[in-house]
Structure 1
Amino acid sequence: MSNSWFLIANPTSGNRNFSKQWSKIQQLLKLKKIDYYFVFTQFSKHEIELVQAAIQKGFRTIISIGGDGTLHHVVNGIMLQTYIKTSDITIGVIPLGTGNDWIKTYNIPNNIEKAIEIIHQKKTILQDIGVLETENKKVHYFNNVAGLGYDGYIVNKLKSLKKLGGISYVLAGIYGLLFYKKSTFKMSFDDKKLEESCLMTVIGICQFSGGGMQFTKNVNPSDGLLDITIAKNLTFFDMVFNLPKLYSGKIVNHKKVETYKTKEITIIPQNSKPFIQADGELIGTGKVTVKIIEKAINFIIN
């Protein structure tokens, strides 16, 4: 059994016809002679339970079929279990979600056939994983990008817009720029203590978030460092005029944006309790401490 892949599929990911996509996935896996066992998620965060049960049964290779949220919960299932070392686990991804931002860092196409070919080739990277502790002492893990402020606000707004597909990110972003009220953050990391009026603070391991935007600079997902981007008092017009730079990554060179690298950061909002998001999933509000776990999980990449 341990030589088989354990497939976790989220039937509600994206806006596609899942039954049609699932039939295609099964055919392609058979063509590649990939032996597998599969389960479908039945409720929110079900991936966590499914992954932990699979690991105890001897599975060490897992395929996440869905979007960034599905992968996020698979990663949390691996990190929360204490049965084996997390670095003994390998994850492959077949993207079916709306955003699919994690795959962009590794040039994995948003294409079922090509994604399965990449899994078949089994090229891996041992990637870092971030861990967030919220003010209620709850722990969450993330494999892509986390943050609080404006990005958490638009993730919350996305819940009602995702049915519109990829355009939902743009609509939520515009809505947030019009209505989100900036927060003052106290931030401490290394020997620095900052207090800034912020649109948002982004903590990255990988490169893309928000449907392809790039807020992190010179990213290396295995360097043992968190990539911090502090977007200070950016206005609606700053964001609109610099829209191409949000997608090219050049926004990090804006005079109102600062970037840092560190292993741990604590962020304390002063005048509000903004949403905290991790990999596009809301995990809490208010104060958060973020740390890095070096080379935690193997991922299959292009």
Structure 2
Amino acid sequence: MNIDPNKWGVIYNPKAGTRKAQKRWKEIKEYIESKNVDFDYVQSEGFGTVEVLARSYASEGYRTIVVVGGDGALNDAINGILTSTAENVSDIAIGIIPNGIGNDFARFWNINLDYKEAVDWIINNRRKKIDVGYCSYFDAHKHERRYFLNALNIGLGARIVKISDQTKRFWGIKSISFLAALFLIFFERKLYRMHLKINDEHVRGRIMTVCIGNANGYGQTPNAVPYNGWLDVSVIYRPEPLQLISGLWMLLQGRILNHKVVKPYRTKMVRVYKARNASADVDGRILPNHYPLEVGILSEAITLIIPN
């Protein structure tokens, strides 16, 4: 199919937990039309449909795919594009109009909830090649691979992301959501027996959480950037109760790597041989519990439209 390379393929993922979803999309759509942009759009209809829609757009030849949604929708879109039949996938440009509960990756680029500003930036079309993380595993039938832009969490980090995303529906403020998550898990401080290989070091023991970040990893890998070809890793051991409180505060301040129970790494590859009973997620999407995992980086795998 011959698609005008300047035509946008827009995927609208309604913000969960709001009755104003259609009103907001109507405003966004009208603003895009007022700018005389040529575009097609589809609305997702539930979990997993964004991935299917993005794969379809990419395979049909759209070179600019705009995601109106949060981190989960963006993750689905990246997975759809990278598993499409499109030629030169790395040249497909992704535009972001934040609309979800969690918008950490958009926030990393200083893209906020002002949809008019986001649309104007996409029209300006300033592009940057960015890295994409991947996680490979065997599900007992075939080898699977899941891509991520922000981070992969194993252990308590996966639970914190899940709980904080849920509480954002009520609080709407990131810091309060993290505090609510802390309150819910304060007395648990569960440890997981893990065995990882990072660079040439074997990391074994009882570990609370591991974050492997392509970007800031919800604050757990604050020095990671998705354009240097590296993954940042934070291995967090068991803190005492007061250390847990100080750790959360340092997390919110972007100083978590200074905490005494955190050991940071920078690497191209992480092998997770074992993480007993530990959940894992990529960009807030829970993975099946199929260890071992191979986590790596694809340099300049996709193009992102960034602010002026």
Q: State the TM-score, normalized to the length of structure 1.
A: 0.91
Q: Which residue of 290, 295, 298 corresponds with 1:293?
A: 298
Q: Secondary structure of the equivalent of 1:141?
A: strand
Q: 1:220 to 1:163 in 2, by over 3 A?
A: closer
Deviation of the 1:249 alpha carbon: 1.4
Partner SS for 2:287? strand
**How far off is 1:158 after superposition?**
5.6
Give the alignment partner of residue 54 of structure 2, picking from 38, 44, 51.
51
Q: Give the Cα separation in 2 of the matches to 1:96 and 1:107.
A: 14
Determine which of 172, 187, 210 is the counterpart of 1:201.
Answer: 210
Give the alignment of 1:264-275 within 5 angstroms. 264-269=269-274, 272-275=276-279
**Following TM superposition, by how much is the alpha carbon of 1:170 offset from its aligned partner in structure 2, in angstroms?**
3.5
2:280 aligned with 1:276: yes
Q: Which residue of structure 2 lines up, in the alignment, with residue 189 of structure 1?
A: 198
Cα distance, 1:225–1:10 mapped onto 2, change above 3 Å:
same
> Mean alpha-carbon deviation: is it higher for 84-93 or for 14-23?
14-23
Q: CA deviation at 1:27?
A: 1.8
Assess, with a 3 A threshold, how the Cα gap between structure 1 residues 258 and 162 changes in structure 2: closer, same or farther.
same
Which residue of structure 2 lines up, in the alignment, with residue 105 of structure 1? 108
Instruction: Tell me, yes or no, if the aligned pair for 1:183 and 1:269 is still in contact at 8 Å.
Output: no
**Conserved 8 A contact 2:132-2:299:** yes
Report 1:248-259 matches (<5 A). 248-259=253-264
Within a 5 Å distance, the mapping from 1:4-15 to structure 2 comes to 4-13=7-16, 15=18
Distance 1:113 1:179 in 2: 43
Shift of 1:145: 1.2
Structure 2 gaps, min length 5: none
Q: Contact 1:145 / 1:203 at 8 angstroms: preserved in 2?
A: yes
* 1:190 to 1:218, Cα distance in 2 relative to 1, 3 A: same
C-alpha separation between the residues in 2 aligned to 1:16 and 1:203? 35
Partner residue of 1:230 out of 229, 235, 243: 235
The residue correspondences of 1:1-302 to structure 2 (distance < 5 A) are 1-2=3-4, 3-13=6-16, 15=18, 17-136=20-139, 137-157=143-163, 161=167, 163-166=169-172, 167-209=176-218, 214-269=219-274, 272-285=276-289, 287=291, 288-302=293-307
- Give the match's secondary structure for 1:117: helix
Given the superposition, is the C-alpha separation of residues 106 and 156 from structure 1 closer, same or farther in structure 2, using an over 3 Å criterion? closer
SS at 1:242's partner residue? Answer: helix
Once residues 157 and 192 of structure 1 are traced to their aligned partners in structure 2, the CA distance between those partners, rounded to angstroms, is 32
Shift of 1:58: 1.6
Contact 1:130 1:293 in 2 (8 A): yes
Amino acid at match of 1:138: E
Cα deviation, 1:3-26, whole Å, max 9, x if unaligned, reads 210000112446361111111101
Tell me how far 1:243 sits from its aligned partner.
3.0
Assess if the C-alpha contact under 8 Å between 1:155 and 1:281 holds in 2: no
CA distance in 2, matches of 1:173, 1:280: 17
What is the letter of the counterpart of residue 61 of structure 1?
T
Change (3 A) 1:63 1:16: farther
Residues 1:259 and 1:47: Cα distance change in structure 2 (over 3 Å): same
Q: Is the 8 A contact 1:130 1:142 kept in 2?
A: yes
Separation in 1 of the partners of 2:158 and 2:290?
Answer: 11
Q: Which SS does the other structure have where 1:108 is aligned?
A: coil
Say which SS state the counterpart of residue 180 (structure 2) adopts: helix
Query: Residue 292 of structure 1: SS of its match in structure 2?
Result: strand
Greater mean alpha carbon deviation, residues 79-88 or residues 156-165: 156-165
After TM superposition, the structure 1 stretch with the greater mean CA deviation from structure 2, 254-263 or 229-238, is 229-238
Q: How many residues align?
A: 297
Give CA deviations for 1:202-235 in whole Å, capped at 9, x if unaligned. 01111152xxxx1114222111111111111123
Q: Given residue 101 of structure 2, which amino acid in structure 1 is its aligned partner?
A: T
